[in-house]
Amino acid sequence: MKQRIVVALGGNALGNNLPEQMKAVQGTARVIAGLIADGHQVVLTHGNGPQVGMIQQAFEVAARHDPKAPHLPMSVCVALSQGYIGYDLQNALREALLELGLPTPVATLVTQVEVDKNDPAFQDPSKPIGGFFSKEEAEALMAKGERLKEDAGRGYRRVVASPKPVDIIEKETVCALLAAGQVVITAGGGGIPVLREGNHLRGASAVIDKDWASARLAELIDADLLIILTAVEKVAIRFGKPDVQWLDRLSVRDAASLIEQGHFAAGSMLPKVEAAVSFAASRPGRESLITQLEKAAEGIAGQTGTRIAL
């Protein structure tokens, strides 16, 4: 059955720097092109962890050498990362589609994601971003109102909040592009975090988890399936232990129970499972799949991966 699918690309699909990214997206594009060739309507999202850090760090270095150099707010750094990651992805995907005889247009959409100013994450920002500062440098920056925290004895780093996504501002544009038969790359890096102030959207000092943003996007554009790609073929409990158990299919209730029992690591699998549960629970008939990029087609066919549904 042909489906509308949101595919959330993991970091291994993009590499850690510019040369790695240009190489990694070639293989990524071939897999995604195969899904499109099978008749599925595909929307791509992606992370930006290494990339947004490099962008901010570059401007930090510039500011140290030139006082007139700007310090870019996190919202602008995310916007820049969307552009250059999307540039590589859309060109690689266009090429892969043409090699399959499919002249399907591919577009990258600079995407804003609304967050709630009252989200508890803003009370205690904890997501480290960019380079390290000495104690003296950190104190000077904090005196200017910036937030930094000591990072495991390695120095101080800027920290930002990681609030939950409320709305995808450009959701109608995504749907219009899909209706026109185009492939859309959107909500890159979790989207540009914005706060709604009347008719104005103000950039927030935050980063949004890309899996949570992907789940919210999938819900709002009425997708059938959310695929969260990761480094392992299936989700497991007791991962790395002799009695590891790989999970093929979970109900929303069972997955929520495993989350509550603490089976998934906060820095890796937990947000993926939580986001997958959120989408699967949003309406009957919607499902989430967590698997490796190379196994995506097999996962859609029900042959591998971890499926979560009501």
Q: Any idea which residues carry the catalytic annotation?
A: 11-12, 127, 210, 272
> How far is it, in rounded angstroms, from Cα 68 to Cα 62?
9
Q: Between vectors from CA 172 to CA 167 and to CA 175, what angle results, nearest 5°?
A: 115
Count how many residues are written for the chain.
310
Distance, in Å, from the CA atom of 48 to the CA atom of 109, rounded to the nearest integer, reads 15
Asked whether the beta carbons of 208 and 77 are under 8 A apart, the reply is no
Tokens 């947004």 sit at which residue?
52
Collapsing DSSP states into helix, strand and coil, what is residue 191? coil
* CA gap 105, 182 in Å, rounded: 5
Q: How far apart are CA 70 and CA 158, in angstroms?
A: 16
Task: Say how far apart CA 194 and CA 221 lie, in whole Å.
Answer: 20
Burial of 62 (0-12, 13-18, 19+ CB in 10 A): middle
Contact (Cβ atoms closer than 8 angstroms) between residue 214 and residue 228 = yes
Q: What 8-state DSSP symbol labels residue 16?
A: S
DSSP state of 153: T
